[in-house]
Chain A
Amino acid sequence: MRGMNVPDERIRCHPSVIVEKSLSATAILALSVAWFGGAVVAAILAAAFVALVLFNYWQWRKTTIRFNETGVVVERDTLFKMKKTLPYSKIASVNITRGIINRVFRTSRLLININSGSSATVPEAVLTFRQDMAERIRSGMGQRLYDQGPAPGEAEAIGSPATFSPMDVIIHGLFSVSTYQTVSGFAFLAYSVYQLLPSAGAGLAADGKALISLLMFFVVLLAPSVSLIFHYYNYRVYRRGDTIYLQHGLIRTYRTSFDVSRINAIRVKRTLAARLMHRSCIEVEVVGLAAGSGESLRPVLCLLKDDATQQRLLRELVPEFVYEADPERQPPGAKSVLLLRAAVASLALTAVMAYPSLWVYRETATMGGLAGSLLPLALPLATALAVLVIFYATSVSYRITGFDAGSDLFTFVNGAVDRETVVMNYDRVQMVRITRGPVARLFGVARGRVYLLSSTGGTSISSGYFSGSRLGVIGETVLERIASGEYDWRKNSI
């Protein structure tokens, strides 16, 4: 295997893992010393720290890794013995990440994932090696897994079908978060500004409510956006043979590769802001891509880019998921169900808002000036506006939601504000559920839910309202493909 060590040679991870593992405990111990104080406590905690470092050293020394002809064997010969074998035939992806500690020690973390639903969010093995060695191992495993793979350094020379500028990354970070998140984030910001301005004018200290609201703005919108910008900085995607390669990251860098046959579904997403800018992004549902670091586990094939580039990338990167889809619209019965739902939601909202509206009216009716004429009507007007928005969103949802059943692939189109087109492969469908509520039954429609294995374990994707028999086509096609032999278990088994 090119670039890999002598077969069956036992190697160890880089010793920096001892520091990496001990670091979080060091922080906790330091905090404990600061909190409790006292020489005795400090001495006990220092002893605990030394014991932890020795334990981590012992574990590092007794853990070996072998890359043999059939798989990777990770063996730990401590009190709690462990031998983990990861056969190459079951490995879905081999990824590399580099955090700050890795940069300090010039190492990389090799994440090995297998096709397991139960542990889809956690890599089966996380191994730290010197950077060049990790690259060599990954390249060698890439050869073994995908029959090809760029050698270290060769990857840079391979052209990407599209370039993503820092501005594209910033736009993706800011506008790929859901519209609900954006609206609530800006509402929190507006409220904090509203609270802060009078206090600033009066020379008062910032109000507590304003700070909480500002914190909510940070948590709901700013932090996710900034995290996305850091995560996807220097974004690069390319395909070589049947393997897709992704590279990105500012502080922590990611190098991910997976076989196209591991993709279960493709999602083309357009948030409201993205639609206004004529941009869209592509996400994929692929098994065994856990980064193990809490970030979004669903890989992105295209950041928010203009629709033409997104379509071109879709055709070039995953032509297996491109087909002439002509999604059918929901039947008239669906409109009745959606309108009834909107009416119930509006009634509930009006009922909930009735008391607060009356209270605000009573409290502000006696106020003079502009405030006196506007504030009493503020909540009833806001409620009326919300009801209008509910009905408008319902009408848009009825217009947009679609379903198409092709011969190899099928598509769900969903969303009123943020829209999503999901193209799925019949051969990856694990289970189909068709649901008919009492109102839907009255109007002769049903909703479908398709269960797939995804990067985060199991996932399900829902359809709009269609006739039960129409949605039943999905399950029947899955079964027909199995019976006719069109479904190849060698390519699709998990």
Chain B
Amino acid sequence: MPFPGPFDGRSTGNEREMDGYRRLNRKCILSMYIGHALSYLILIAVFALARIYAQEILDPYTEPALYVFMGVLAIVLVYVVVAPPVFYARYRYRITADRIDVRSGVLVLRHILVPIERVHQVEISRGPINSILGLAEVTITTAGGVATLNYLEVEEAERVAELLNSLVGRMLKERIPAIPAQIGSPGD
């Protein structure tokens, strides 16, 4: 059952909506590239340190070990370059009155389904790169695990959090008449 409003999946002229699912802002690609580049720089620094100090530890296997490391660096580089656009192209999310539905993945595709009824907590967070780019992530906590909506625009993240809070709040309000009875009865 689609939730009435901007998240019902009906086209509102926004090209980012598709099959009831919403897509991310293209800025997510830039954010991922920056994040990946920083991680890759750390990896290169480790490689440089390994070249300097590995001689004593790995001898006589220093050379093959460094070749393996370079192979890993090459594979990671390909992933760093290819992953962001693929991630962007595949990422979809949909929030309806009863569920949060996220489809994502680069190599491994994931489809996560969280019933709204199970949502305990909604949190918006922003790292330094996402802050610069005006992006945020929404973490949805259930009693059994956590689902995350990544790289949302800040306004979108706040709208999503507000929507989820209102859906959960509405559900709890519907239950209020039953709560005093529950408190009165032992054994619950």
- Could you count the A-B residue pairs with CB atoms below 8 Å apart for me: how many are there? 89
- Whole-angstrom CA separation of A89 from B186 in the bound complex: 7
- Whole-angstrom CA separation of A290 from B175 in the bound complex: 30
Residue pair A437, B178 in contact (C-beta under 8 Å): no
B181 closest partner in A (C-beta): A490
Known A89-B182, A147-B187; contact A431-B147, beta-carbon cutoff 8 A = yes
- Whole-angstrom CA separation of A453 from B144 in the bound complex: 4
- Whole-angstrom CA separation of A460 from B108 in the bound complex: 18
B107 contacts the other chain (CB 8 A): yes
- Whole-angstrom CA separation of A270 from B1 in the bound complex: 42
B112 contacts the other chain (CB 8 A): yes
Residue pair B115, A479 in contact (C-beta under 8 Å): yes
The residue that B108 contacts in the complex, of A89, A432, A437, A478, with Cβ under 8 A, is: A437
Contact partners of A146 in chain B: CB under 8 A: 187
Contact partners of B183 in chain A: CB under 8 A: 70, 89
Residue pair B144, A490 in contact (C-beta under 8 Å): no
- Whole-angstrom CA separation of A384 from B140 in the bound complex: 48
The residue that B112 contacts in the complex, of A432, A454, A489, with Cβ under 8 A, is: A432
CB distance from A303 to the nearest CB of B (A): 27
- Whole-angstrom CA separation of A88 from B184 in the bound complex: 11
How many A residues face the partner with a CB closer than 8 A?
37
A434 contacts the other chain (CB 8 A): yes
Contact partners of A438 in chain B: CB under 8 A: 107-108
B132 contacts the other chain (CB 8 A): no
Contact partners of B111 in chain A: CB under 8 A: 433-435, 468, 472
Chain A 404-432, CB within 8 Å of chain B: the 1/0 string? 00000000000000000000000001111
A452 contacts the other chain (CB 8 A): yes
- Whole-angstrom CA separation of A438 from B107 in the bound complex: 6
Residue pair B108, A458 in contact (C-beta under 8 Å): no
A483 contacts the other chain (CB 8 A): yes
Q: A residues 457-494 with Cβ under 8 Å of B? A: 458-460, 468, 472, 475, 478-479, 482-483, 487, 489-490, 494
CB distance from A308 to the nearest CB of B (A): 34
Residue pair A458, B145 in contact (C-beta under 8 Å): yes
Chain A 428-454, CB within 8 Å of chain B: the 1/0 string? 011111111110010000000001111
Contact partners of A432 in chain B: CB under 8 A: 112-113
- Whole-angstrom CA separation of A441 from B144 in the bound complex: 27
B183 closest partner in A (C-beta): A89
B62 contacts the other chain (CB 8 A): no
B114 contacts the other chain (CB 8 A): yes
CB distance from A94 to the nearest CB of B (A): 14
B117 closest partner in A (C-beta): A482
> Among the interface residues A435, A451, A458, A487, which one has the most CB atoms of the partner chain B within 10 A?
A451
Residue pair B143, A430 in contact (C-beta under 8 Å): yes
A117 contacts the other chain (CB 8 A): yes
B94 contacts the other chain (CB 8 A): no
- Whole-angstrom CA separation of A155 from B187 in the bound complex: 20
Contact partners of B156 in chain A: CB under 8 A: none
Residue pair A436, B108 in contact (C-beta under 8 Å): yes
Contact partners of A88 in chain B: CB under 8 A: 186
CB distance from B13 to the nearest CB of A (A): 29
> Among the interface residues A460, A472, A475, which one has the most CB atoms of the partner chain B within 10 A?
A475
Known A147-B187, A435-B108; contact A451-B144, beta-carbon cutoff 8 A = yes
B interface residues with partner A (beta carbon < 8 Å): 1, 98-99, 105, 107-115, 117-118, 142-145, 147, 175, 178, 182-183, 186-188
6 smallest A-B Cβ distances: which pairs?
A: A430-B144, A451-B144, A451-B145, A475-B113, A147-B187, A430-B142
